[in-house]
Amino acid sequence: MKSILSMATILMILLSVAQVNAQDGNSILQKVDEVMFSPNDMSATNKIILIDKNQKQETREAKVIQKGTDKRLFRFTSPASQAGIAFLSLPNDVMYLYMPAFAKERRISTSVKNQNFAGTDFSYDDLEAKAFASKYTPKLLKTEGNTFVLELTPKTKGEYSKVIATINKTEYYVHKTEFYDNGNKKIKEAIYTFKKIGKYWNPAEIVMTDLKKNHKTKMIMENVKYDTGLKDDDFTVRKLVQ
C-alpha cells in the first residue's frame, strides 16, 4: 500500500514538474517572440556569405523589408546573375517570385519551403518570420548559466523533428538553435549575435552550419531600420515587379 502511495506521489510530483516546465517553456517562448517580433516593420540590407568546407567564400547581397510577422519582400542586389530576383511572402503561405528575365511574377508552390533558400544553408522555413509559439510546442530542458535551453517540437510535420534553442535568460533573445532531422540526428546549427538597435534586439549576424555538408552561411544584417511606417501597399505584386 505504501509503495502504491509513494508511486502515486512520485507520479503526481513528476506530472506537476512537467506541467511547470511546459508552462515555463511557453512563457519563455512567448517572451522570445515578444523580443524578436515586436517591431511593426523593418528594413535592412543583407550580406549573405556562403563558406564551403575549404573556406572558399561567395557573397550575395539583398535588400529586405518586413512588416509584422508575415509580410516580407526580399530582393537580390548582387551577384549580377541574381540581381533583381525578388521574393514576396504574404500571409497564408502565398509566395511570389519575380525574375526580370521573364517580365512577370510567378506564384511559387509552398513545397519550396523544403528547399534551401538561394543556395544558402537556410531553408525558406528557417527564414520565415513567424512567431516561434505559433510553430512549436516548447519544453524547458534545463537552465544553464545565463541561458534557458528549450526543446521545440514542430506543430506540423516538416523537415525537422525538433529544434533545441538556447535562449538568453535576461533579454530573451536566441543564442543558438540546433536542428534535428526526422531520424533525430542533428543536421544544422545556427549561432546568433544580437545587437540592440533603439529599443529592439536585432539578429545582426546569424551563422548557419549544415553539419552534413560542412557548409556555412553567414547572414549579416546592415542598415537596419525599425518602425519606418511601411505600409501594406509595399508588400504587393505591384511593388515586387518594379
Partner 1 sequence: MKKIVLIIQIAMLVGIANLKAQDSIPENELQTENPILKISGEFLGDERFLLNDNDQWFWNENRLSLKLEKKSENGVKFFSEIWFRNFGLPAYQSAADLYNKGILNPNEIEIRELYVSKQGFLFENLDVKLGRQRIAWGTADKLNPTDNLNAYDLEDLLDFGRHRASNTLNMNLFLNNEFSLQAVYIPFFEPTNLPVSVFANVLNSDFTLPQGMTLTAQSNEIIQPEFSFLENAVYGFKFKGYAKGIDFSLSYLSGRDALPTAAYNTFTPTDGWGGVSIHSNLEYAPVHVLGFDLATNIANVGVWAETALYFAKEDVHIKNNLSAFYPYLPQPVISDSIFWKKTESKLKWVVGGDYHFSKGGYINFQYLHGFIHERGNENLSDYFFLRYEKTFFNEKLKLMPLSGAFIVTDWENLNENFAYAYMPEVVYFATPEMEISLSAVLFEGKGNNLFAGLKDLDMLMFKLKYSF
Q: Is 238 in the site for partner 1 (CB under 8 A)?
A: yes
Pick the piece of the chain touching partner 1 (CB under 8 A) from 5-13, 58-66, 149-157, 196-204.
58-66
Residue with cell 516548447: 138
Give the nearest distance from C-beta 37 to partner 1 in angstroms. Answer: 22
Ranges assigned E (strand) in 68-213:
71-78, 86-90, 94-99, 104-108, 136-144, 147-154, 162-168, 174-180, 186-197, 200-210
Query: SS3 helix, strand, coil % of the chain, rounded to 5?
Result: 25, 45, 30
Residue of 60, 67, 72, 162 that binds partner 1 (CB under 8 A): 60
With contact defined as beta carbons under 8 Å apart, do 189 and 211 qualify? yes
In the complex with partner 1, the residue whose CB is nearer, 22 or 83, is: 83
Residue of 41, 46, 61, 150 that binds partner 1 (CB under 8 A): 61
Backbone angles phi, psi at 5, to 5 degrees: -60, -45
Pick the piece of the chain touching partner 1 (CB under 8 A) from 2-10, 30-38, 50-58, 138-146.
50-58
Please provide the size of the chain in residues. Answer: 242
Beta strand 94-99 pairing with 104-108: antiparallel
Pick the piece of the chain touching partner 1 (CB under 8 A) from 32-40, 54-62, 129-137, 191-199.
54-62
Pick the piece of the chain touching partner 1 (CB under 8 A) from 18-26, 130-138, 189-197, 231-239.
231-239
Spatial CA neighbour of 61 closest among 45, 85, 44: 45
Residue of 40, 114, 143, 153 that binds partner 1 (CB under 8 A): 114
In one letter, which amino acid is 116?
N
Pick the piece of the chain touching partner 1 (CB under 8 A) from 6-14, 23-31, 104-112, 198-206.
104-112
Residue of 215, 225, 226, 240 that binds partner 1 (CB under 8 A): 215
The set of cell numbers assigned to 148 is: 534557458
Spatial CA neighbour of 220 closest among 198, 200, 193: 193
Residue of 79, 153, 185, 193 that binds partner 1 (CB under 8 A): 79
Residue of 22, 35, 49, 50 that binds partner 1 (CB under 8 A): 50
Q: Across-strand partners of 208?
A: 190, 217
Q: Is 104 in the site for partner 1 (CB under 8 A)?
A: yes
Q: Is 84 left (phi over 0), alpha (psi -120 to 50) or beta?
A: left
In the complex with partner 1, the residue whose CB is nearer, 24 or 159, is: 159
In the complex with partner 1, the residue whose CB is nearer, 52 or 144, is: 52
Q: Which residues bind partner 1 (CB under 8 A)?
A: 50, 52, 58, 60-61, 63, 77-83, 92-94, 102-104, 106-116, 119, 159, 213, 215, 232-233, 236, 238, 242
